[in-house]
Homo-oligomer: A and B are copies of this chain.
Amino acid sequence: MNPSPVRLRLEIAYDGTAYQGWQTQKVGTGVQSVVETALRILFPGAGPLHGCSRTDTGVHARSLVAHVDVPPAEWRMPARKLVLALNAHLPEDVRLISARRAAPHFHARFHTAGKQYRYFIWNHPALHPLHRHHAWHVTRPLDVPAMKEAARHLVGRHDFAAFTVNPGYARTSTIRTITRCEVQRRGSAITVIIEGDGFLYRMCRSIVGTLAQVGMGKIDAGSLPDQIASRDRRESGMTAPALGLVLWSVRYQPGRPASESAEPDPTDGE
């Protein structure tokens, strides 16, 4: 009998500008394969890397959690040393932030309890050069109080079919719970914080695009409940561009990292 592999829980950050998202596509490179390539320099027998989400082309991550199995015979360092060791083999736009051993059944995707995304808008006639790769440039002054009002309607357990590009892609259900949806302004920087138990394809960007159009006066803040009820993508607003979106943090149920009871959602992704 083979000894059980060492399962590692990795926290990865990246600037998504140069990548076709997390998963490698037919064209272009995904962050996943960049990290897998680096891992196999250290651990030739490493298995595939499983990420908590599939971020879209151009989306960034502050903290994406992934797991990987390493053959025990190749595992010779304390997990914390992996940060320096792996980063030496990664491009500077991808970084391993932390590494630790996980329970043998921990699954980075199926065991998530919640995620937080942040979306950055630069609301000024000129886009600040230091934010040009990580913020959506909206020149027209946005009505932030109206955006805040609209955001409140999104909080709760709803069918978000009207806020995903292809609801049929969600093979299970389009019902999700948004636990926090906040709009903050600080000078020209507007941040939208969205937290929930799971997200449909392009859901965050559809929400932010809709909120921005509320801020532009093109959509009435009070119409959000009707948009949700419609379950029709044509009823909600535009899709905000990828470059402003950051997967900010991922939450796992405390003490249940290895639980098999969490509902797997193979469609989750932004």
Chain A interface (Cβ within 8 Å of chain B)? Answer: 13-15, 60, 62, 83-84, 87, 92-97, 124-130, 132, 134, 246
Contact = CB atoms under 8 A, between A and B. Distances in A.
B15 A129 contact: yes
Given A15-B129, A93-B132, 20 more contacts: A13-B128, A13-B129, A14-B129, A15-B132, A60-B129, A60-B130, A62-B128, A62-B130, A83-B125, A84-B125, A92-B127, A92-B129, A94-B129, A95-B127, A95-B128, A95-B129, A97-B126, A97-B128, A130-B134, A130-B246
A89 B97 CA distance: 39
28 contacts: A13-B126, A13-B128, A13-B129, A13-B130, A14-B129, A15-B129, A15-B132, A60-B130, A62-B128, A62-B130, A83-B125, A83-B126, A84-B125, A87-B126, A92-B127, A92-B129, A92-B132, A93-B129, A93-B132, A94-B129, A95-B127, A95-B128, A95-B129, A96-B126, A97-B124, A97-B126, A130-B134, A130-B246
A15 B128 CA distance: 9
A134 B131 CA distance: 10
Contacts of A95: 126-129
A212 to B, nearest CB: 20
Contacts of A128: 13, 62, 95, 97
